[in-house]
Structure 1
Amino acid sequence: MNTPGAGILAVMPLHAISDVHGEEGLRQRLDIEKEKLPRPDRVEAALELAADLHRDDRYGREPYVNHLLRVAIRIVSHYEVHDTDVAVAGLLHDSVEDHTPELAGARGGSGTGAALAEVGERFGPRVAGLIASVTVPEPDPAGDKHVQYREHIATSLDRDPWARVVKLSDFTDNGVGILYATEPAMRHLATKYRPMTPIYRDLVNRPDTPLTEHVKQHIRDQLELAEERFRAILDTK
């Protein structure tokens, strides 16, 4: 697939890059953004691991790695966070939750703890800590899994401001991009995410969330757009 020059890719909306130029276009956009970081080589290593772990995974109509690429790009470009660890955590934010056995097995162990230890060995304890904060544990089958998900996110992100940045990018990608999902996943995701919007709005407004005010306003606008889309999906008979 032919992709445009760097100047055009640098200003294209991320979902437009996905739609028109696919994974290759997103990889090229990340190449542009990672040069703003002090350790771009670590971003490349994280992308290689993420692409390998999620190689058979899909995100609606596209490879799952596209979602991970957008999350990392948004952190650097839209959120103006030039912190290598946070960008790396964006690429790997679903790695432990979705691929525990592969990561844990690399250490000859099992379970989330071993998987996080493997991430820590490769990318450092801060990255592992960020991923731990956004990793949702297996729900208790006796309770409502959506309620448990909301409670975990609210509690975990309450104590980890930098993990909020990763999760805000993740949620924004899921919410604004929900129209790219396939049915019946679209309605399922809207049901899951709609009650989360007030939680993320509260988190982005907190004084200790490490983002500038104009970035926070951008995120608030994106949350409003996501909420409009959830409402349109769920209120349509």
Structure 2
Amino acid sequence: MSTVGAGLLAVMPLHTISEVHGESGLRQRLELETEKLAEPERVGAALDLASRLHAADRYGREPYVNHLLRVAIRIVSHYEVHDTELAIAGLLHDAVEDHAADLAGERPGTPTEAALAELENRFGPRVADIVAAVTNPPREPGVDRQEQYREHVAASLDRNPWARVVKISDFTDNGVGIVYATGGVQHHLATKYRPLTDVYRELVTRPDTPLADHVKQHILDQLDRADQRFDAILDEE
């Protein structure tokens, strides 16, 4: 991996860090960002847990933890949310959806219930509530998968403004970063995500979405960029 000074690393686009410096570079960038937070050690504990849960997972050509790192970094850096629990939720936003049983351990209840209880025990009820809001429910028989996904996003984020911040960072990473996806996955993702950009535009611009106006405009610009990329991929078919 190439080495880079902290000053340059702090201003590099996140996907550029991923491409040039890999997971190590993203971890260094998160360390720089968590200096702005009141409890950086709690973020470190969340990253340790996320790294263990997702150790065998991949995100295209890279380890899955890179996606989680970018989501958390974007919340603190780009969205200017200097909130320890939001950074933690960003790192753990897929933990219950992807690894509920591993996270739950021997706790009683369904895997999802037990995993959320474990998150609450480790990081508090607010983190668990945010992660619950961005966790997709099991697929309902006879319901179109993508339609269920869109309805879940709209409903769960309608009542949880802080969960919107995490999910918007997640969506931005997936959408703007779709050009880094490999092979036929691009078309599948573009088909899944293209109908959602207007949903996120509406959520971002709500008065109760806890972001500064210039941050909201930045996100709207990113959603426009994602739409351009989705359309380019879908037009190739």
Q: Same fold (TM over 0.5)?
A: yes
**1:31-54 CA distance string (max 9 Å, x none):** 000010000000000000000000
Q: 1:81, 1:236 → 2: CA distance?
A: 38
Task: Determine the structure 2 residue equivalent to 1:163.
Answer: 163
Aligned to 1:61: 61
2:40 aligns with 40
1:1-237 to 2 correspondence within 5 Å? 1-107=1-107, 109-237=109-237
How far has the Cα of 1:141 moved from its partner? 2.6
Q: How far did residue 110 of structure 1 move? A: 3.9
Q: TM-score, normalised by structure 2?
A: 0.98
Q: Is the 8 A contact 2:2 2:20 kept in 1?
A: no
1:170-208 superposed Cα distances (whole Å, 9 cap, x missing partner): 000000000100111111001000001000000000000
Give the % identical residues.
Answer: 70
Query: C-alpha separation between the residues in 2 aligned to 1:3 and 1:62?
Result: 18
Shift of 1:106: 4.5
CA distance in 2, matches of 1:87, 1:10: 17
SS of the residue corresponding to residue 140 of structure 1 reads: coil
- Runs of 4+ residues over 4 Å off in structure 1: none
Counterpart-to-counterpart distance in 2, 1:219 and 1:42: 27
Q: Distance in 2 between matches of 1:94 and 1:7?
A: 30
**Structure 1 contact 106–118 (Cα < 8 Å) conserved:** no
- Kindly report the root-mean-square deviation, in angstroms, between the aligned alpha carbons of the 2 structures: 0.8
TM-score (normalizing by structure 1): 0.98
Provide structure 1 residue ranges, at least 5 long, that are not aligned to the other structure. none
Provide the rounded CA distance (Å) in 2 between the counterparts of 1:107 and 1:180. 38
What is the alpha-carbon distance in structure 1 between the residues aligned to residue 93 and residue 111 of structure 2?
Answer: 16
Deviations 1:5-47 (A, max 9, x none): 1001000000000000000000000000001000000000000
Task: State the shift of 1:128 in Å.
Answer: 0.2
Question: For residue 128 of structure 1, what is the amino acid of its counterpart?
Answer: A
Structure 2 SS opposite 1:99: helix
Assess if the C-alpha contact under 8 Å between 1:150 and 1:196 holds in 2. Answer: yes
